[in-house]
Amino acid sequence: MQILVDTGATNTFVNYNTLRALNPNLSLNKSSSSFVLADGIAPFQVLGTVDLQILFDDHLTFITAYVAQNLCTDVIIGMDYITFYNLKFNVRSQRISIDLQGRRHQVPTNPNVETTFIPVFLHEDTYLPPRSSSFANVSIPIPSLSSIFIPHYQFLLSNTATIRHKFLQFYDHRSHITFYNTSFRTHFVPRGTQIGYLCHHSPLKSDPVHNSPSHVSCGAINLFGAVPDSHVHDIAILPNNSLSSVLSCAPVNSLSSSLKSSLHQLVSHINVPEQRHALLNLLGDFHSLFDTSKHNIANTSIHHVINTVPHAPPASRPYTQPDTVEVLYNMVQEFLAANLVAESHSPYAAPAFLVKKHDGTYRFVVDYKKLNTITIKDSSPLPNMEATIMKLGDGYKYFSKLDLKSGFYQIPIREEDKEKTAFITPFGLFQFNVLPMGLKNSPPTFQKVMSNTLQFCRHFALVYLDDIVVFSKTYEDHMFHLAQVFSAIQERNLVLNPPKCELLVSQIDYLGHTVSATTITPLKERIHVILDMKEPRLLSHANKFLGALSWYRKFIPHFATIAAPIHAVTNLTRKNRHKFHWRFAQSQAFQQLKQLLVSAPLFLHYPVPNVPLILTTDASNIGIGGVLQQEVNGELHNLYYHSQMLTRTEQKYSTIEKEALAIYKCFARMRPFLLGQQIIVMTDHCPLCHIMTKTINNARVDRITTLIQEYNIEQVVHINGRHNCLPDYLSRYPREQTDDLFDVEYGLPSHTAPSPSASTHIVATMTLRPRLNGKVVSHPPPSTIDRNTSSSYHSPHQHTQHLSHTSHVNSPFSTNTFDIVQLQTEQQRDPYIQQQITQLCSNSNPTSFFLKENLLYKSICLSRRAKTKKEVLCLPQSMILSLLQACHDDPMSGGHFSLDRTYLKLKPHYWWPNMTDSIKQYIRSCALCQQYNVSRQKKPGRLRCVPPPEGPFQTIGIDYCGPLPRTPRENRYVLVITDYFSRHVVAIPLPNCSATTTAEALFNDYFCKFGIPCLIVSDQGSHFRNQLMTNMSSLIGYNHIYSTAYHPQSNGIVERFNSTFIPQISKLQDCEHNNWDEYLQAVVFAYNSGVHKTTQYSPYELLYGRPPRLPFHPPPTHFSFPFPCDYLDHLHKTLKIYHKSARSYIVQQQGRNKSRYDTNRSDPYYNVGDRVLTRVHGMNNKLGPLFSPSPKIVVHTLHPTYVVRDEQTHSDFRVHVNDLRPLCPF
């Protein structure tokens, strides 16, 4: 039976004669459907329909087929069957397949035909010239054949060498093909390379051959016999992934050693060998892009144009630098040889000079100040930075960042404008053929060239000046995109800077942001100056910090409220300055204000286009500081903070030199934000206001002015020093800077090689260092430990030596090494090990110790269930500390993990007496672990029950609740006053929580209604702890005590009511949420009239001796007393019973609370002189320390409250025991 699969047939048809032959008695279903033939005109008659069953790979399929006469075949499979079963036809394997029951089933189209794949080999070495087609001879292992040609998949994927043949004819083993090389370099394909297959279909034989491409050579030889030596020699049957290496291996191997090293360095970070090899081959294809040994001039139609206003050509005399004339001469000769400059007869003349960099080399600089003054500004916009960054945040997983080598020096200048770039030297006048550094419109021109170069790559590549980013979602796409970008750059004859390129990475730093597949975050270096700002410890420092923020107070919401704790300790007269104390409240306010400086709306991630950037700088005797800002719609936004210390040499500069240096350092650090933008520089040093238009008679200042000529500085504005607060503060408290901003490459080789000592210094400083908020004592290196005191102990049960544990070393990676010689030496010095060796030699009884190669070992079981023992080294006491440092402190081998992890790492290798105790003690003494580890237990400190008062209004607690939404009566806060005995509550709505408002509310609304209490308990807020409240307590006559900071349980009765009445008010307020004070007193009365769970009475009853009458109560019962005094006696008796019973209930409830609270809770005691760490409150940084970096010393004990003193500032703090963590010695 013949079956035709016809995608042009709408339905399935079966021949009537075929159907009658299969089943003569079959009856047809009637059908009114009509069809036409393929011409769309001729009708096609059907006799009816039948439910057809087709057996496909031993599985039944069902379809309703139309019965017709005179069909060309037995059955026609139409689109109804094809669609329903998702039928597919594989031309290469000659098989059809369908989806059935969740699986794919396939059958051959002709079971009597076998498909064979015959390899096609290159017959001779072939070179493929760039950008052209080439003929090549190929051969197969059989004499002749005409069949379909399938190229090797590497040619199908290749972007450079392709084969477009679909059919090949072979005679006498030979044929020829055409290669197309679309790249800019010559490819080499060696003889014998398998370039593809012939797909041959032949009748099935008894000895089937392998028809998989991976076995094609074996199958072809078995079928057709041996390959004649005269036709194919040195056949190279390649793995599927190796053709690309054949196309590129010759050029990579033939490169210079320096270039080859640069290419290997670019791919060294890739862990997948196949990807690393493929990228290296791609770099080999475009190796000329990374060859920085010569200067290139871009092949572009866009040239730099210098449009000027009508003027007389400015000319200057050459600068005199006798000590650098020879170096300058050699540089100019190099430029001449590279065709970067040419001799000139121009009327223009700008002085050229050299700037010495810190590595001893020189930078070539031309002072184009006069030329820039008459140059017409190019208003061509740069790409929108925000749009550029956001385009990268679309889930791209692969990134590559490319940087152009001496980008400006590769851009040509328009012929008629070259004379305007002329520069004068002591030995002649020269002019640039390329774009020099320092011209006014350099950034727009460079952007135009790069945008034009990558115009066809804009969907997967972004360019911002000389920074190019390629982004893709898959590895295959990224390799293809890189090849296209490389090809476009190579076509323009541009050169990249290999050390600054990053290829095939998952995260990049670009335009001040870190970009990955999931996040885009601002670089920390933009805000690290603020985040690393240390807390003031002196009154003068605190006042300067507040002064630094004075300019921003109108932009910071609730500035006065947040800064109130700091103001409270800084508003001191000269006589009271000794009372300055920096406590927890001030520390919390300091952290909050810092956070506001680096968060919205004050901190803006992206600059707004077409709005000038404002750079404000300042310098002090120790450092420089600067802030980059924009004023948008009247609001000031900060873009970048910078601060760094001055070197000893720079500290000797004059004032004007320091101020100019501050401007230059900020420009260099903020370069991506400033290039091509309108800039206003603000300084409090008036002589710098004209540096861009006039010459200052100062060599350093003029040199700095020349270095910033490339920026579009509109004006330099003088501001009053008192308005330059934050830059001034940053300059006086700078952050150490280790990088060299002057060290910028401009395409010239080094003229002075750095000394070995300098190189060693650079390598030594490239270490990872943990950043902490405070100073901590570091570990003494192992070499500094006194062996006389640390290498001996008298018994295995004696405790390990007491050494001060360290929080970190200069580098977190351990440098400890343990070799056999050191172990032998230390074991010989160790008394305990020598004692064991002596007993081992004199005693024949078996022990767990034994000697092996002059080292003492011990046999131990690694686990309780272990049946075999392991031999481990006995570690001498002198090496315990070094080992613990390596196994606990080192990020790679230790990571500061817990006792169990550290012990299980050491147990299979080492043993010493009391090993577990030593490790436990060491970890307890680790300052970093104590600062950062989260305790999984209840906070220490058991409940201390305060005896209840004898009656009402003797002890009261006060606290503020708020701020709440402002009401029409201007109320935002609630002053809550709770009686400790009766639990009676008074709530007073107030507009603010100042000290004056608090004192007036207490006096008018409480003291004058309920009398003067004996004791008032409150927290340490500035509205309670102030001079006014102190004077009022002395005047009226009551005691006022304060709860421990960050321990609200000390005044828990008031805190508990606050959590109760807020939900009640929320349920009653209107939809505007601003009339809560209308329901406040009603909610308080409802609370006071309800039975309290602790006292078993309502607060109202305990005060008045009777329950309150409520609206739903029945009419009151009348009592008659003969005399008024009878009612008083009855009231006294009633209140006495109520108070006695209530006090008993309070004591009972306190006992139950204490029992529940103290369960499984530790209660540590500390002694005077103990070193502890205090909990850090108010930190929102998840990576910040939980406890203070600097240790404290206990100076006074009143358990559970302790007074501790900071070791650095000597400030005293009162802390509850649950905010302390011991710092044990080791």
CATH number assigned to the domain comprising residue 101: 2.40.70.10
- Give the model's confidence band at 739: pLDDT under 50 very low, under 70 low, under 90 confident, else very high: very low
CATH code of residue 786:
1.10.340.70
Domain-embedded: residue 1166: no
The reply to whether 594 and 630 lie within a common domain is no
- Is the model's pLDDT at 949 over the cut of 80? yes
CATH code of residue 214:
2.70.40.10
Nearest to 555 by CA among 627, 603, 514: 603
Residues shown for the chain: 1226
The pLDDT value recorded for residue 766 is 25
Nearest to 737 by CA among 808, 662, 683, 680: 662
Domain-embedded: residue 1159: no
CA–CA distance, 5 with 52 (Å, rounded to integer): 15
The reply to whether 807 and 927 lie within a common domain is yes
What's the token pair of residue 740? 């060299």
- Is the model's pLDDT at 817 over the cut of 70? no
- Is the model's pLDDT at 665 over the cut of 50? yes
Query: Which amino acid type is present at position 595?
Result: Q
Tell me what the mean pLDDT of segment 377-389 comes to.
76
Tell me what the mean pLDDT of segment 419-430 comes to.
92
Tell me what the mean pLDDT of segment 64-68 comes to.
91
Helix extents (H) in 969-1051: 995-1002, 1008-1010, 1027-1036
| Paired sense of beta strands 145-151 and 161-163, if any | unpaired
- Final residue in a domain of this structure, among 239, 254, 288: 239
- Give the model's confidence band at 423: pLDDT under 50 very low, under 70 low, under 90 confident, else very high: very high
The pLDDT value recorded for residue 459 is 84
- Is the model's pLDDT at 762 over the cut of 50? no
Counts for the chain of helices (H) and strands (E), in that order = 35, 50
Nearest to 423 by CA among 415, 414, 433: 433
CATH code of residue 1046:
3.30.420.10
Q: What is the separation, in whole angstroms, between the first and last Cα of the chain?
A: 92
Query: Cα–chain-centroid distance for residue 933?
Result: 22
How do residues 225-258 score in pLDDT, each as one tens digit?
Answer: 333 333 333 333 333 333 444 444 445 666 788 8
Residue 3, beta-bridge partner list: 75
- Is the model's pLDDT at 1210 over the cut of 90? no
How do residues 183-193 score in pLDDT, each as one tens digit?
Answer: 666 677 888 88
Lowest-confidence region among 421-435, 857-871, 1174-1188:
1174-1188
How do residues 17-61 score in pLDDT, each as one tens digit?
Answer: 888 887 777 788 888 787 887 766 778 888 899 888 888 876 788
How do residues 356-374 score in pLDDT, each as one tens digit?
Answer: 776 778 888 888 888 988 8
- Final residue in a domain of this structure, among 671, 704, 739: 739
Tell me what the mean pLDDT of segment 263-271 comes to.
89
The pLDDT value recorded for residue 586 is 85
Question: In the chain, what percentage of residues exceed pLDDT 70?
Answer: 78
Residue 35's Cβ-side half-sphere holds a number of Cα atoms within 13 Å equal to: 17
Q: What b-and-e string marks burial along 328-338, b requiring 16 or more CB atoms within 10 Å of the CB? A: beebbebbeeb
Residue 911, beta-bridge partner list: 874
The pLDDT value recorded for residue 184 is 60
Quick check: 691 and 713 in contact, CB under 8 A? Answer: no
How do residues 471-494 score in pLDDT, each as one tens digit?
Answer: 998 888 888 888 888 888 888 888
- Is the model's pLDDT at 1023 over the cut of 50? yes
The helix/strand/coil state of 122 is strand
Local structure of residue 1154 (DSSP, 8 states):
H
The pLDDT value recorded for residue 234 is 36
Q: What b-and-e string marks burial along 431-452, b requiring 16 or more CB atoms within 10 Å of the CB? A: bbbbbbbbbbbbbbbbbbbbbe
Nearest to 399 by CA among 499, 501, 281: 501
Domain-embedded: residue 289: no
- Give the model's confidence band at 210: pLDDT under 50 very low, under 70 low, under 90 confident, else very high: very low
Using a 10 angstrom Cβ sphere, with 0-12 exposed, 13-18 middle and 19 or more buried, the burial of residue 968 is: exposed
Q: Which H or E element spans position 543? A: helix 539-548
CA–CA distance, 1043 with 1018 (Å, rounded to integer): 6
Report for 500-504, 865-869, 1180-1184: range of highest mean pLDDT: 500-504
The pLDDT value recorded for residue 113 is 64
Tell me what the mean pLDDT of segment 278-307 comes to.
84
Domain-embedded: residue 178: yes
How do residues 889-900 score in pLDDT, each as one tens digit?
Answer: 877 777 788 788
| Paired sense of beta strands 88-90 and 623-632, if any | unpaired
Query: Which amino acid type is present at position 847?
Result: T
The reply to whether 669 and 802 lie within a common domain is no
CA–CA distance, 692 with 553 (Å, rounded to integer): 33
Domain-embedded: residue 797: yes
What's the token pair of residue 1176? 């850090």
The pLDDT value recorded for residue 532 is 66
Local structure of residue 823 (DSSP, 8 states):
H
What's the token pair of residue 166? 């679909």
CA–CA distance, 782 with 86 (Å, rounded to integer): 73
Radius of gyration, alpha carbons of the chain: 43
Average pLDDT value for the chain: 77
Question: In the chain, what percentage of residues exceed pLDDT 90?
Answer: 9
The reply to whether 451 and 393 lie within a common domain is yes
Quick check: 946 and 955 in contact, CB under 8 A? Answer: no
Tell me what the mean pLDDT of segment 1127-1137 comes to.
69
The reply to whether 978 and 853 lie within a common domain is no
Domain-embedded: residue 278: no
The reply to whether 959 and 921 lie within a common domain is no
Domain-embedded: residue 313: no
Tell me what the mean pLDDT of segment 959-974 comes to.
87
Q: Hey, which bits of 91-153 come out as E strands?
A: 95-100, 103-108, 113-122, 126-128, 132-139, 145-151
The pLDDT value recorded for residue 61 is 87
Q: Which domain holds residue 818?
A: 782-932
Q: Which H or E element spans position 560? A: helix 559-570
Helix extents (H) in 7-134: 16-22, 79-84
CATH code of residue 1182:
2.30.30
The reply to whether 845 and 726 lie within a common domain is no
- Give the model's confidence band at 814: pLDDT under 50 very low, under 70 low, under 90 confident, else very high: very low
Lowest-confidence region among 370-374, 637-641, 786-790:
786-790
The pLDDT value recorded for residue 401 is 92
The reply to whether 960 and 1102 lie within a common domain is yes
- Is the model's pLDDT at 64 over the cut of 50? yes
Structural domains of the chain, count: 8
Nearest to 707 by CA among 307, 356, 407, 341: 356
Report for 236-240, 417-421, 625-629, 777-781: range of highest mean pLDDT: 417-421
The reply to whether 124 and 219 lie within a common domain is yes
The reply to whether 94 and 228 lie within a common domain is no
> What predicted TM-score, i.e. pTM, was given to this entire model?
0.39
The reply to whether 976 and 1119 lie within a common domain is yes
The reply to whether 117 and 104 lie within a common domain is no
Quick check: 713 and 704 in contact, CB under 8 A? Answer: no
- Give the model's confidence band at 112: pLDDT under 50 very low, under 70 low, under 90 confident, else very high: low
How do residues 427-478 score in pLDDT, each as one tens digit?
Answer: 899 999 998 888 888 888 888 888 888 887 888 898 887 789 999 988 888 8
The helix/strand/coil state of 1159 is coil
Output the CA–CA distances (angstroms, integers) from residue 283 to 58, 132, 260, 971, 1166, in the order listed: 53, 21, 10, 70, 66
Domain-embedded: residue 1194: yes
- Is the model's pLDDT at 804 over the cut of 60? no
Tell me what the mean pLDDT of segment 71-98 comes to.
85
- Final residue in a domain of this structure, among 681, 712, 739: 739
The pLDDT value recorded for residue 203 is 62
Maximum Cα interatomic distance, the chain, rounded to a whole number of Å: 143
Lowest-confidence region among 390-399, 678-687, 1081-1090:
390-399
Q: Which H or E element spans position 1049? A: none
- Is the model's pLDDT at 151 over the cut of 50? yes
Residue 56, beta-bridge partner list: 59
